[in-house]
Structure 1
């Protein structure tokens, strides 16, 4: 994507005619006592005015909101191909690259989560529509790409699909839980209802695929158990 230019003239803060500051405001230490210079030296009673803490809190909240607006504007500028500038008007390559890296990571995480969500939703639909005849391609196989045959169901390929979404930040699902839920889903006894709906010409391939997936899942479970026992 080509650059649109440099962030030399930042847009105005929404709802105002004030431009965004060229540098992010520094927040004061909330433990600091703020003193009005015009009343300095007039006694401690001036510092302890009842409404003074509220005034300081409002100021801090305003600074926080302005900083959020600045960061949002910078992100959208870089997303569109722009390059940021520092307070002196020089190109800020480091900050621009940090934002680009974050945007790229967000897109990668979104893709991983969407891929798992689609897989999970296809399985739920498969179970709830018990009257639909199935073909090999209708089975939500745990792979990043559609399988071409029994050779596609390898341990690395299944592991990559099952665990990729676990690397997403703020993920709360453990590897152990993902393996356990997958074993329950792919157990040959439970999946027999699915096999019973498969067209005759695909039954053998589906049955073979289910057993291959289940075998890989059991190996992953054993590896995870051995790993935990050695830790």
Structure 2
């Protein structure tokens, strides 16, 4: 809307003459195009916060920021390298452990199959007699170790029960240090047989006793001063045989003690 109109704004010639409208207060800059990157605001009032924010976004989109990477310090690079090496080493160790477990499980399966009488086969499905014989040897060693451990555990368990019992005993009730029960005292004069029984489990993985430990424990166990109460419980008809057998065991142990140079503090 115009508030005032100048008479000079219109000119009339005749009824057929056309007229033209002259803009009021023309501005030289009204026809210029705004510079790219800027938004024009109406004159006479300051821009609002929203208008300034929109102008800022318009300018930012025209000139995106340039991100300059910061240089890494030597300490940070070393820590990164160390972490990477540790990760690689950890991965290698996990792989080795996984492969070892797989080999262990595969060998266990082969042992079980051979133990049951089966014959192993190679990757092409052919009977592998060489591998079967190799695994059979491992099975025989394991089974022998298992039997030896069972004998020793039974020996120790029998002594524990014997010391806590009050029943009468016969010659066969006493746990003698041999792989099989003796029939007479003469069999206990063989120090080699006694040594075989005492030491046969020491080479088995997991057994921590030594030859000297076994000898020391056995000499204390078979000492005559500690067996008085036990012999008093032996049936009359077996007393002499038990005494002879105990003497034979002590003599064999003393000979082994001399060989092993074991020192025993007698009770």
Bucket of the pairwise TM-score, normalised by the shorter protein: 0.5 to 0.7
Matching residue of 1:141: 176
Report the Cα offset of residue 52 of structure 1. 8.1
Q: Which has the larger radius of gyration?
A: 2
Matching residue of 2:167: 132
* Structure 1 unaligned spans of 5+: 1-47, 227-231
Matching residue of 1:213: 249
Matching residue of 2:147: 111
Report the Cα offset of residue 89 of structure 1. 2.9
Q: Tell me, in whole angstroms, the C-alpha distance in 2 between the residues paired with 1:186 and 1:97.
A: 43
3-state DSSP class of the match of 2:125? coil
The within-5 A match list for 1:177-192 is 177-192=213-228
From 97, 115, 122, the equivalent of 1:79 is 115
Q: Tell me, in whole angstroms, the C-alpha distance in 1 between the residues paired with 2:134 and 2:184.
A: 42
3-state DSSP class of the match of 1:167? coil
Larger relative contact order (C-alpha < 8 A, sep ≥ 6)?
1
Q: Tell me, in whole angstroms, the C-alpha distance in 2 between the residues paired with 1:58 and 1:215.
A: 55
From 158, 171, 193, the equivalent of 2:207 is 171
RMSD over aligned Cα, in angstroms?
2.8
Report the Cα offset of residue 55 of structure 1. 7.4
- Alignment length (residue pairs): 179
Q: Tell me, in whole angstroms, the C-alpha distance in 2 between the residues paired with 1:158 and 1:64.
A: 39
Residues 199 and 211, structure 2, Cα contact 8 Å, conserved in 1: yes
TM-score normalised per structure 1: 0.67
Q: Tell me, in whole angstroms, the C-alpha distance in 2 between the residues paired with 1:168 and 1:195.
A: 34
Q: Tell me, in whole angstroms, the C-alpha distance in 2 between the residues paired with 1:69 and 1:160.
A: 33
3-state DSSP class of the match of 2:209? coil
Instruction: Check 1:188–1:64 CA distance in 2 against 1; reply closer, same or farther (3 A cut).
Output: closer
Q: Tell me, in whole angstroms, the C-alpha distance in 1 between the residues paired with 2:211 and 2:186.
A: 24
Q: Tell me, in whole angstroms, the C-alpha distance in 2 between the residues paired with 1:163 and 1:52.
A: 45
Q: Tell me, in whole angstroms, the C-alpha distance in 2 between the residues paired with 1:61 and 1:111.
A: 30
Matching residue of 1:34: none
3-state DSSP class of the match of 1:184? helix
TM-score normalised per structure 2: 0.59
Q: Tell me, in whole angstroms, the C-alpha distance in 2 between the residues paired with 1:192 and 1:125.
A: 17
Matching residue of 1:122: 158
Matched, 1:198 2:229: no
Instruction: Check 1:160–1:72 CA distance in 2 against 1; reply closer, same or farther (3 A cut).
Output: closer
3-state DSSP class of the match of 1:78? helix
